[in-house]
Structure 1
Amino acid sequence: MPVTARERLAKKIKVFDFFSGCGGTSAGLRDVGMDIVFALDFDPEASKTFQRNFPTTKFVKRDVRYFETCSIENLVSEWRSKDHPILFSGCAPCQPFSQQNGQRNDEDERIPLLTHFGRFVKAYSPDFVLIENVPGIQTISSTAGPLPKFLRTLTKMGYSVAAGTVDCCSYGVPQKRSRFVLLASLLGDISLPKRSHGPGAELASFSTVNAWISDLPPIQAGETHSSVPNHRAAKLSPLNLARIRATPIGGGRRDWPEDLQLTCHAQHKGHTDVYGRLRWDAPASALTTRCISLSNGRFGHPTQARAISVREAARLQTFDDSFEFTGSLNSMAKQIGNAVPVLLAKSLGRAFTTTLNGTGRG
């Protein structure tokens, strides 16, 4: 017997995560009660991490560009009846649009990934759509780029759309991380979530590095803690150990004595964050795919003579300690740097559940 509209809306939102990575988006959406039923990604290490943490989710290790839309009904039994609200998440890789990408160009083959995701939205008309990327996705082209095309598709299909640039630290993430987000709904008007942290918000202060990592046991560079999962730090050369020891909390390469300075920095005033230490009393700098490397950003531990560990980086992306990462040290850092912060995804998830409640659920 078919379900009524009210019965359908009373059920959990089912999530289809098309660029799952290691699972940051899915973890946040799961935390607000959604059911992660399908995920797709082609990165082998990120795929293993996702499957470790979402063992009951149907996972497909494929490139979205070569995955046929007609296959969803055959792969995911939850789709066939569609007796529950559906959310499609399309948080595609951000590197083609990132200002930190030195090789950024308009011919990057990853730029059309949003368009490929749009094929699925157009074919299946999910109740909700979620996009997260760097703000640069808005600047590729004002008319012909992937984002304007995607927005036109949503408008033609009748979606209510809310989009804009947000700072993750406004949602409790202990990290200065500016992101473009887009929420779309066929079940009523939708809005971006209100800020929870910062001036004018419910909590006036931003979350800090201290609040998230200070309780972890100390380790040395190159060491792995025996009982805290993924609490592992990269090795440092003797010279870089001397440099980090000469760096005060919140300081950087400008604080070193002359004999520790790099020749390449002698006439260079930029990149002041490299080799820098984090501050205890402030959010971290934006984590990148090299977030556990001392020489690639302000990723030095505030007080210990090392860069932050994999677990510390994961915490700064607001992953719970029960979320375990697999792969090489560099791979785990890449997975974490590429992830959507869990608390941001959780806040975005609540915007969808608010819309759903407004249609008569509960």
Structure 2
Amino acid sequence: MASKHPLRGRRRPAFERGDQHLVVVDLFAGCGGLTLGAAQAAQDHGLALSVPLAVDFEQAPVTVFKENFPKANVHVAPVESYFDGALGAKPTIAELTTREQVGDVDLLIGGPPCQGHSNLNNHTRRDDPKNRLYLRMARAAEILRPRVMVVENVPAVVHDSQQVVARTRTHLEKAGYKVAATGVELVQLGIPQTRRRHILLAVRSDALAAGLSVANLLEFAPQPTHDLRWAIGDLEHAGSERWIDAPSKMSPENQARIKWLIDEDEVNLPNDRRPECHRGDHSYVSMYGRLTWSQPAQTITSGFGSMGQGRYGHPSQPRTLTPHEAARIQGFPDYFHFDTTVTRTQLSVIIGNAVPPALSRVLTARLLETGVLGRETNARLDESA
């Protein structure tokens, strides 16, 4: 009997059910991609999920987070309102209150805003005040003292003009953490898209077993690679009344472009069929392009519904990707609900900005398998029994 496809299940696992918990705090949480991956890994290892705090500045992704993790303590607020002290300073009143309310934390995770670091952002690249929010993760670790902290971002974060990664690392090491960082190709983790991310991993010194280094923990065994057909092949002709399954409306010009690509079996649109502003010598060959069943997708962004924002033409249908397909390509199973009370534009931004759950799932599993997570969790619960 073939194993069940990991993205097609519609019944949500009971992540919160169990006697022993993995306690997770998610900052800059978005819709909960990092939390979902941690929950999946915890369940695989017999632990239940507990989220005493999750925070994001935007209401729309928090709405999605709450829908999918109804028992989590989720808030719409700036992360810096919970962790407002200077690095290395004594805890503020707000930070003491946060620490008292949250309690012991196993895993602190976060994906600070990364638009300022992105190579697509030519105006404020690497010099954006939002980039300094990365440092709030270090402050949160100082206050909460989690066993492990994971910070996810774009690879270009290492070139930030304020050196946020180096400064975060320095402060964490002063606070008693062992730190390592690496770039990760998500296709190697089983995600069907070409997407690179930067991971900073900090482990409290007393959580590391003898002979184990933090750098060792970032050495992942390659997962089976998956193409686009594996991710969304079953949705090729799927009809649904849910708007998450409806593609964006296309202009007559773009309808003609995608039809031409399909009829001619081409993946790149020639210059003479592009809008005049996108002709001539350029490196953006993916724009107005068509995806290929046998390859991973390009990086999913909030523009996945527009041919003019990337290679988002469907491989066989005269349309762009639907939100459902984009979520699948990000690695979100069908039991994860995006179509709550948000607008279509918000939905595109939420999915495009989401962190693929496989990233935290693979890393959390590694931390559990090596005993970095799990041992103290279980001992703490045994003492309170």
Same fold (TM over 0.5): yes
1:193–1:351 Cα contact (<8 Å) kept:
no
SS at match of 1:52: helix
Equivalent in the alignment of 1:208:
227
Equivalent in the alignment of 1:5:
none
Count of matched residue positions in the alignment of Structure 1 and Structure 2: 333
SS at match of 2:136: helix
Aligned-pair CA distance for 1:193: 4.2
Equivalent in the alignment of 1:239:
253
Question: Residue 304 of structure 1: which of 294, 303, 317 is its match?
Answer: 317
- Structure 2 residue identity aligned to 1:44: Q
Equivalent in the alignment of 2:11:
none
Provide the rounded CA distance (Å) in 2 between the counterparts of 1:72 and 1:317: 34
Aligned-pair CA distance for 1:40: 0.1
Question: Residue 51 of structure 1: which of 61, 66, 69 is its match?
Answer: 66
SS at match of 2:34: helix
Flag structure 1 segments of 5+ consecutive residues without an equivalent.
Answer: 1-9, 198-202
SS at match of 1:14: strand
Rate the CA distance shift 1:102–1:59 in 2: closer, same or farther, 3 A: same
Equivalent in the alignment of 1:3:
none
Q: Does 1:251 align with 2:251?
A: no
Question: Residue 347 of structure 2: which of 317, 332, 336 is its match?
Answer: 332
1:106-185 alignment, distance < 5 Å: 106-141=126-161, 144-185=162-203
Aligned-pair CA distance for 1:121: 1.1
Provide the rounded CA distance (Å) in 2 between the counterparts of 1:225 and 1:250: 28
Aligned-pair CA distance for 1:124: 2.1
Provide the rounded CA distance (Å) in 1 between the counterparts of 2:28 and 2:374: 28
SS at match of 1:300: coil
Provide the rounded CA distance (Å) in 2 between the counterparts of 1:193 and 1:251: 35
- Structure 2 residue identity aligned to 1:194: F
Aligned-pair CA distance for 1:338: 1.0
Equivalent in the alignment of 1:195:
221
Aligned-pair CA distance for 1:78: 6.7
Aligned-pair CA distance for 1:75: 6.0
Provide the rounded CA distance (Å) in 2 between the counterparts of 1:250 and 1:341: 29
Worse-superposed segment, 298-307 or 35-44: 35-44
Equivalent in the alignment of 1:293:
306
Equivalent in the alignment of 2:55:
40
1:168–1:179 Cα contact (<8 Å) kept:
yes
Q: Does 1:79 align with 2:102?
A: yes
Aligned-pair CA distance for 1:231: 1.3
Rate the CA distance shift 1:121–1:276 in 2: closer, same or farther, 3 A: same
Aligned-pair CA distance for 1:68: 4.3
Q: Does 1:218 align with 2:237?
A: yes
Aligned-pair CA distance for 1:108: 1.5
1:38–1:76 Cα contact (<8 Å) kept:
no
SS at match of 1:351: helix
Provide the rounded CA distance (Å) in 2 between the counterparts of 1:323 and 1:196: 25
1:93–1:338 Cα contact (<8 Å) kept:
no
Worse-superposed segment, 94-103 or 324-333: 324-333
Provide the rounded CA distance (Å) in 2 between the counterparts of 1:14 and 1:138: 29
Q: Deviations over 1:257-277 (max 9, x none)?
A: x4x332123323321111111
1:230–1:324 Cα contact (<8 Å) kept:
no
Rate the CA distance shift 1:72–1:60 in 2: closer, same or farther, 3 A: farther
SS at match of 1:136: helix
C-alpha RMSD of the superposition: 2.4
Q: Deviations over 1:103-161 (max 9, x none)?
A: 224541201101122221112211110111001010114xx511111000111122122
- Structure 2 residue identity aligned to 1:94: C
Aligned-pair CA distance for 1:73: 6.4
> Identical aligned pairs, as a percentage?
29
Q: Deviations over 1:57-80 (max 9, x none)?
A: 001110113334644665687733
Aligned-pair CA distance for 1:196: 2.2
Q: TM-score normalised to the size of structure 1?
A: 0.85
- Structure 2 residue identity aligned to 1:26: T
Aligned-pair CA distance for 1:238: 1.2
Provide the rounded CA distance (Å) in 2 between the counterparts of 1:72 and 1:60: 16
- Structure 2 residue identity aligned to 1:101: N
- Structure 1 residue identity aligned to 2:116: P
Q: Does 1:263 align with 2:286?
A: no
Equivalent in the alignment of 2:26:
17
